[in-house]
Structure 1
Amino acid sequence: MSAGRAVGLLLGVAADAVIGDPRRGHPVAAFGKAAHTAERLLYRDSRPAGMVHTGLLVAGTASLGLVAERLSRRGPVSHAIVTGTVTWVVLGGASLAREGTAMAGCLDAGELEPARRRLCNLCGRDTTNLGLQGLARASVESVAENTSDAVVAPLVWAAVAGVPGLVTYRAVNTLDAMVGNRGPRYRDFGWSAARLDDVANFVPSRIAAVLTSLCAPVVGGSAGSAWRTWRRDAAAHPSPNAGQIEAAFAGALQIRLGGRTDYGHAVEQRPVLGEGRTADAGDVTRSVELSRVIGAVSGVLAATGAAFFGGRRKR
């Protein structure tokens, strides 16, 4: 079945690039509704309650993925179709590129108020007091982090574990976005979702940083600077994973990221990543281009990895 998985991954990456997200009935939206319903039933301001919430949702999603994987193994064609469809649904590369491009357009035109509203589609920051440079910096950081979370990481898990890996990772990452923040309501309840997401992204985030270094010259960036900045600055970031690719993007584009970051419920003084100038609208455009290249390379590598792992299992 390794050939079916490999072909399916390539089909899913292509579908995401050409079609984008499903416009109606998106399964991730359905999962979000189920998670909200479960939260209403299970919420307690405690870690054990959050662990039950996360465990039930992730285990249920993994079970559905296992069923889909087994049913699709009747032949390579059905396996490729199912894998391709799930990959298309799970990946977020096209929507990320669309939002990043729209942000760059607003900033280039000096339309700060529309840019502040649109940034909410990329991250959960308080945009009230952000100027052009603050909006550009937040956009590049969000494009970088989501390149790892929404593109590279699901493809890594797909190469290793197929459809179950894809849907389970997506469930974990979605739960982290929903309840994994550090606000008062979710500080304890969302702890398990946040920690599980850290584990799921630990290896993929570092792969994403390496790919950023390798792909940087394609968009006129610096591979050497990306590598050096990643190795030097990533560990200073409060997130064990987001800092990996944000540092690599800062070096690749030769700009500075980090600094004051306002989430509404809390303000963080992030360490500075990189040594270059402050970000501008052109850097947002280049970050989107870099994200697209990384996504394409990740798709090819994931398909190759799926064929490799599948071959080893057969032997």
Structure 2
Amino acid sequence: MKIYFTFDPRPDLKEKVLKDFPDVEFIFHNSIDDGVLKEAEVLVTYGEDIEARHIEVAEKLQWIMVASAGIEKMPQKEIAKRGIVVSNVRGIHKIPMAESVLAHILAYKRGLVWIYEQEQKAEWSRKSKASELHGSTALLIGPGAIGSEIGRLLQAFGVHTIGCNRSGKSVDYMNDMISFDALQNTLPKVDVVISVLPSTPDTLHLLKYEHFKAMKDSALFMNFGRGDLVATDVLMNALIEAEIAHAVLDVYEEEPLPSDHPFWQMTTVTVSPHVSSHSSRYMERSLEIFKPNLRKWLVGDNELINKMDITKGY
């Protein structure tokens, strides 16, 4: 069996994979070689480097392991037509992303940006406008594994958590649950709105201007899921019109965010360059999912951990 990684893992992690599967042929590149792809039965990729033509070239391909959570940039129709199994690393992002979200909230609430500015100016001032996170209410849109971990941390700070998903079905570490249908009526009650939704046809521009108008003018909006949750001009207008107080964004409709984009200059926006999931343990955790899946695959079991429905995007 030939397994093709379109990236080159850290040497120590790569050595462990080779040691655990001595009878499997692994090829590690930092790009895609059509000659190797033509012979590969399993492809391990971050997803963004796969185009429709690659699926045509990969005549023997049966399984794509995506070392990421999102598959929206992959040629989904071509993969589905071939019946290729797709799995991802859903769940590995929950710790770094939850810590990133909490860090941004605390930085905003406790005035850390102002403190850092004073430090740079060597100016002693105690006119901080810090507020408390304790006693506030947070709405988490799309609370899966990541949202539940965010909820757990927020509850430790005395925050009331409300989860929002398509069904309204209960999720761990949410004090209350609502469905998408109840979103408009719930927004006026919350202080922090956090989205960790994936990109699917159902979530495209889910949030409209009326949703931001329904939020408190003191609300903090955070998008750590996918940038197409809200149209850029809608969010910008909501900020300009002071419908909300501040937005912390890790994802955008256009990435990289152009250097001349207004968000960079807006004091009501914190720009994070899609790094909330970054961690020194990212690849280690990805391989912890890949290796048991490979053991299953080698004995003919294709019911893999995090097996996805490529046509639905999750």
Instruction: Name the structure where strand makes up a greater proportion of residues.
Output: 2
Q: From the CA coordinates, give the structure whose radius of gyration is larger.
A: 2
| Greater RCO, 1 or 2 (C-alpha within 8 Å, sep 6+) | 1
Q: TM exceeds 0.5?
A: no
TM-score by length of structure 2 reads: 0.26
TM-score by length of structure 1 reads: 0.26
